[in-house]
Amino acid sequence: SLATASYTSKSFSLSGQGTYNFYAMTFNGDGTKAYFTGFGPDAILQYSLSTAWDISTASYDNVSLDVSGQTTEGQSGLVFSPDGSKIYMASYTPDAVYQYNLSTPFDMSSGSYSNNSLTVNEDTNVQDVYLKPDGTKLFVLGDTNNSVFQYTMSTPFDLSTASYDSVSFSTATQQTNCTGLFFSPDGTTMLICGYAPIQADKYTLSTPWDITTATHDTSFDLTSEFGANSPNAIFAGNDLSNLFVSGS
């Protein structure tokens, strides 16, 4: 519940890898690895957390996955398949989602481009992507229309089989510059962050994974942590008891 959220005073600076704008963030299943990408590195960077889910203990693994063949300075979202064998990356230059296969789960050094991608025609300035755990549904967050768009993969986890469901949900009542998207594993909660205003918003889905049934629940002000800067990605881990927000 965002109504009970409070800042832990724990953070981690990514400046050691360059003065980039890091737009995307995700974690592995047990909170011992974190992954970032964004405007500049043209790669997905891998970090280890010596204490699971404690971002202040993160350190760079000197491991990355080159994505420059698909997009440069446009990476905006990341999500894993539950088993860590695939990672999906959203891009706003061009507006698309790309699929990468990892021969060793959650290890960026074993990653390669699958040649599977989804062109997002429903919005421009794509900001994030999320995957239903069974691999049948994909959700894409767009900033221009401030909406979440839903796609079906007829072959689970195979992005080449994705098609738009003509289903969307507008965030404009709460957020007019949305940047980050996350769902609870059971599909009953959706979290979105953004910078107009600088906050995170929680939505409850009365029918799991059906975004047309989403209603706004609570908001959490992020201005004390981010000031005038933009929160760009959101993730809840450790049985949803830890909330992580990254920014440029």
Per-residue pLDDT tens for 128-143?
Answer: 999 999 999 999 999 9
SS (H, E, C) 164-216: EEEEEEECCCCCCCEEEEEECCCCCEEEEEEECCEEEEEEEECCCCCHHHEEE
Question: Could you tell me the pLDDT band of residue 21, with boundaries at 50, 70 and 90?
Answer: confident
Mean pLDDT of 227-239: 91
Task: State what percent of residues in the chain have pLDDT above 90.
Answer: 86
On whether the CB atoms of residues 169 and 214 are closer than 8 A, the answer is yes
**Residues 166, 94, 148, CA angle at the centre, nearest 5°?**
30
pTM of the predicted model as reported, rounded to 2 decimal places = 0.96
101's enclosing H/E stretch is: strand 95-102
- The whole-angstrom separation of Cα 137 and Cα 183 is 12
Closest C-alpha among 212, 147, 219 to residue 181: 147
Closest C-alpha among 195, 154, 155, 187 to residue 171: 195
Closest C-alpha among 209, 237, 26 to residue 135: 209
Q: Classify 3 as helix, strand or coil.
A: helix
The region, left, alpha or beta by phi > 0 then psi within -120 to 50, assigned to residue 69 is alpha
The model's pLDDT over 71-85, given as tens digits with 9 standing for 90+, comes to 877 899 999 999 999
Asked if residue 19 has pLDDT above 70, the reply is: no
Give me the phi and psi of 105, to 5 degrees please: -55, 135
The model's pLDDT over 90-100, given as tens digits with 9 standing for 90+, comes to 999 899 999 99
Neighbours of 242 (CB within 10 A): 17
Q: Classify 241 as helix, strand or coil.
A: coil
